[in-house]
Structures are given as structure tokens and as C-alpha cells.
């Protein structure tokens, strides 16, 4: 990884061991190396950012009708989860 980022072999080791910190530009390069968008990296509330990013990429080119269909499906999933939670509490 160090070599892929254009540094010496010890670069990543020095960061992970706490001996040094990357600059902001280098931090973004490390984030890109792992294929994660910086918005997802800094949002600790997002679970499975790589999967979410893949879904977003595929959704971007869908028609409005296709998007509405997906939204309806997601609403059904959410409603099902709420019903199951309520049934388990009873």
C-alpha cells in the first residue's frame, strides 16, 4: 500500500503505529485507495459504506419510474421491519 501511494515501505507502518500522521491530501489518497468516498469515511453513522456507494452508483442512471419503484420497495421493507418490531414487543 505504501508503494501504491508513492511512498517508502515504512509510510503506512509509521501512520498505523502512531509515529506520524498523514496530511489531509494523503489522508484523502488513503481513503480513495480503499475505494471509499470521503463523505462516507467521515460519517460514522453510515454502516456498510462500500455497499451503499455501489447502490447509489447503480441508482443514478435509473428513470424516475424506476426510482419510484425502488422507493416503494424500500417503504415496504421499512414497514415490514416496524411490524416485526411491534410484534416482538407485544
pLDDT band at residue 14 using 50, 70 and 90 as cut-offs: very high
Domain region containing 3: 1-44
Count of the separate structural domains present in the chain: 1
The pLDDT value recorded for residue 48 is: 77
Q: What is the mean pLDDT of residues 1-27?
A: 92
On the question of pLDDT at 47 being above 70, the answer is: yes
Backbone φ and ψ for 18, nearest 5 degrees, come out as 85, 5
Residue 62 lies in a domain: no
Residue 87 lies in a domain: no
Q: What is the mean pLDDT of residues 15-24?
A: 91
Estimate to the nearest angstrom the gap between the alpha carbon of 74 and the chain centroid: 19
Instruction: Quote the percentage of the chain above a pLDDT of 90.
Output: 42
Global pTM reads 0.48
Residue 11 lies in a domain: yes
Cβ atoms within 10 Å of 40's Cβ, excluding its own: 16
Amino acid at each position: 500500500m505504501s508503494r501504491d501511494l508513492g511512498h517508502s515501505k515504512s509510510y503506512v507502518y509509521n501512520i498505523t503505529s502512531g509515529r506520524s500522521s498523514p496530511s489531509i491530501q494523503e489522508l484523502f489518497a488513503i481513503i480513495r485507495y480503499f475505494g471509499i468516498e470521503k463523505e462516507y469515511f467521515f460519517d460514522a453513522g453510515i454502516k456498510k459504506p462500500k455497499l451503499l456507494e455501489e447502490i447509489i452508483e447503480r441508482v443514478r442512471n435509473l428513470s424516475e419510474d424506476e426510482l419510484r419503484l425502488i422507493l416503494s420497495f424500500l417503504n415496504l421493507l421499512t414497514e415490514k421491519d416496524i411490524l416485526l418490531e411491534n410484534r416482538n414487543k407485544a
